[in-house]
Structures are given as structure tokens and as C-alpha cells.
Amino acid sequence: MQLFHQGLTGPDGSLMLDELPTGEYTILGMLNDVSTTIARVSIKDFAAATEIRKELLHNDPRFTLAGAVLDTKTKQPLEGVTVTCVNNAQGLVKKQVTGADGKFFFQLEQNGDFEVQGHKKGWLSSELITKTTKGLDRTTQLYVDLTLNIEQPKTKGTITLRKIHYSYDKCDIRTEAANELKRLVALMNDYPDMTIELASHTDARGSDPYNEKLSQCRAESAVNYLIAQGISVSRLIAKGYGETRLVNECTNGVTCSDEKHEENRRTEFTILTCKTCP
């Protein structure tokens, strides 16, 4: 079969072709690796009308994940970021590299759970984001939107790892916290001369001595995890600040919501030295 014409539909889904020679034609579309229905043009169609219209139907049961990768500081799109999308149930791994507009697209299977993350050498990777298509109605929702933020390290700069949470009165590294610390491991492997202080902070509830002791325990647990992943102890300092560096007004005696207290319960790392950093 000889190809006569190939083109892209416009925003309204139509494609116009002028001065089509009389003949027999087969029309087929393709979107996201899924074919449309097939339409055929016969010689009789030419005799019956001056304009021939054919309709193609595209039936892709998947959802489109439409996203963009932004610089955390400037909020500008980032080029050259490898975005990975994993279907946990099926074990499918898909990857795309962003262009100048920072955008990426994946097709998500129905009733699936997915993990999405952006990586760029020399940058702190994005947080690991989970998405699901369970419970979504394909007839009413075609797209799942996502924005990934990644950050380039600066000497003396401080970065908060927002998904490191601990059980009450505990220092153990939970699964979600381990995923956050893996981002830091990858960054320190990109910059072998980087040294950091890893700091843990509590909210103001509880006594000052108790909070200082608890935060030190948590900082040391995080550092020990990094050491277990191959980062030299000589590059790491663990520091628990307790409630001495609150980021809002929720100090002793002030009534605050749980959300406000959570702002103060955080883990941060500060780059102390790094000659090869930007």
C-alpha cells in the first residue's frame, strides 16, 4: 500500500486535503501508539459529492498524564530532565526527556498506581510523586496533571526534604523518608566533594530538652542511612535543633493548628562545602 498523504489534525480534530485525485483510499489515524478506526474512500464517493467527509474514532482506554518540570527557585521550565513513570502493578517503566518547554506526557493504564520522578545530573531530583487512575472515569476525565520541581544546589544553600516524617517519639527511617534520602544520596554522588549538615527540627510542643534530644536522634538516623548507602561519614554532620529554629509563630504557649506545627517539624540539609557546585 502506497502512502499518499500524512498530516496532523488541528485543535478541532480535523484535517483538510485539497485536490484529492479520484481513486480508492484507506484512511487511518494514530495517537499515543493507539490506532483509530479505518475509513475508506471509493470512486463512488467522488461521483456523489464535491466534498468528501470521513470520520475516524479513537478509543484509547488509558489516561494521559500531562506534566511539566520546573526549577524550584525560578519556576522556569527545565530542559534535559529524565522523567520516569513506573506502573507498580504491571512493572512497566517509561521514560521521557524534557525539551525546552519542560513538558512530558505519559499514557496511564486504567486501575493502576504510578510513581513519577524527575532526574537531572547535578540537580536534586524531584520528590517521588504517586498518582492513581483507580476510580477515574475515562468518559469524563482524560488528563491527569502534574508539576515536578527540581533544584540545583548552591554552596551554603539550605534545602528542605519535605517528605521525611517520623512516627511519634521515634527516630526510625520510614519508607517514605528513605525515598527522600535517596534523592540526597544521588546528589552527593554527583558532587563527591560536597559536605553537608543534616538538621532535624521539631515543633514547640514538648519540653525544650526533650525536643533537642529527639531531633538529634532523628538527624543521626538520617545520617546513618546516608552512610549505609555509601556516603562517607567525613562528609556528614548530624545536628538536632529541637524547637530553636521555628519558621512561624507557633512557639511555646501559642495555640496553633496541626498544619502550622507541621511546618516546624522538618528535615533540612545545608551544603557546607562544595567546590564543584554551581
Domains present along the chain, CATH in parentheses = 1-59 (no CATH), 63-150 (2.60.40.1120), 158-273 (3.30.1330.60)
Cβ–Cβ contacts within 10 Å for residue 117, how many? 20
Contact 159, 236 (CB under 8 A): no
Percent with pLDDT over 70 in the chain: 98
- Listed range (53-62, 63-72, 100-109, 176-185) with the worst mean pLDDT: 53-62
Question: Distance (Å, rounded) from C-alpha 173 to C-alpha 165?
Answer: 8
Question: Distance (Å, rounded) from C-alpha 234 to C-alpha 193?
Answer: 11
Tell me: the pLDDT tens digits for 53-91? Answer: 999 988 778 888 889 999 999 999 999 999 999 999 899
**Phi-psi group of 118: left, alpha or beta (phi > 0 → left; psi -120 to 50 → alpha; rest → beta):** beta
Tell me: the pLDDT tens digits for 19-30? Answer: 888 989 999 998
User: Looking at the predicted structure, is the pLDDT value of residue 128 above 90?
Assistant: yes
pTM of the model: 0.77
Cβ-count burial of 202 within 10 angstroms (0-12 exposed, 13-18 middle, 19+ buried)? buried
Phi, psi of 46 (to 5 degrees): -65, -35
Q: What is the helix, strand, coil percentage profile of the chain, to 5?
A: 20, 35, 50
